[in-house]
Structure 1
Amino acid sequence: MCKQNDQCLIDLYRQGREDALAELICRHKEKIFTSIVLLVKDQYLAEDIFQDTFIKIIDTLRTERYTEKGKFLPWAVRIAHNLCVDHFRRTKRTPVIRTQDNKDIFNVLRFTDPGAEERLITRQSHSRVQEMLDMLPEEQREVIILRHYAELSFKEIADLTQVSINTALGRMRYGLINLRKMMSEKQIVL
């Protein structure tokens, strides 16, 4: 089967030959994986994105939506690139919340199954954050919720709230400043 071109392997896979897909993956895995590693600069993340890439490729081939005859590798690399871009967009949207001693809260939190005490503390922390959010002016609260909980972009927030992007950014900035001030005044540690 090694002598077959990519399109022939795709056709064989569509006919039920799983080994054709295995050959296709073996043929291109190094180039695709290397392109992902160069973009994300993290071996483990690259492995996750590589798997997601082939899940998307397999789904597209199975549903017969593949239309890139003779251009499998560039198409596959484009899928991988888009998944990398999606990852960075999600990461960029993830808020960086700092503790009082200026540490990223996600570097402080433990990600194990919480015990009853930890669940109680977490519930109390969420409750405190909600109370502080409720004390913000409506437009600041709205932007923070849309950004951090709904994960909308500032353009989407601006469109939804019918303000300019700069206004949405300003509301976010002042909302975060006010939250930090409240935490400091009430000596709240999350």
Structure 2
Amino acid sequence: MNTPFRDDSDAALLRRYRSGDADAFTELYARHRLGLHRFLCGLCGDSAQAEEVFQETWLSLIRSDSQPFGQASFKTWLYQIGRNRLIDHWRKHGRRQDIYDSFDEQLHADALPSPGNEPERELALSRDRQRLQGALERLPEEQREVFLLRAHGDLDLTEIAELTHTPAETVKSRLRYALQKLRRLLSDPAATEEVSP
């Protein structure tokens, strides 16, 4: 009982979910959970806080009957909801604390090849993740957000500009400065000088 063509785009899945198709939501969640969670973890630097905001984001989507606006893709809209929930969270609980926390390993274990029982490799991967998180924490907030939307959200510059209400050229500059600083910090962990934006 296969249909000749079934639209499985995010927009179609959202419409099907709104019409009562629970499997459509499961597919949307599977497609976007990892990138959204990584984005939130990277932005706030606290996996417990990110998890709370992550859950609030999906609950907002479930409870709402709204749709992406204009030309916005589902993904851009979802990340906007997540970003707004994080800002609400910071306002409610006071601005985020500078907590150093690595990404939640359990949520990302399926994205990494299993190293088996190699403790040295596990330790090296853990240190690499800590170095990356530490370097991300040292980026100015605007640069970190743009980098995470590009790296984990896989959004293009136009989508990031739309989501952050920032001109595309500014987004491009922030991304360039973020990449330069991350390269420098990761190649020389003792580096302390700032890259001017």
With the length of structure 2 as denominator, give the TM-score of the two structures.
Answer: 0.42
The answer to which structure has the higher helix fraction is 1
Q: Which has the higher contact order (CA 8 A, sep 6+)?
A: 2
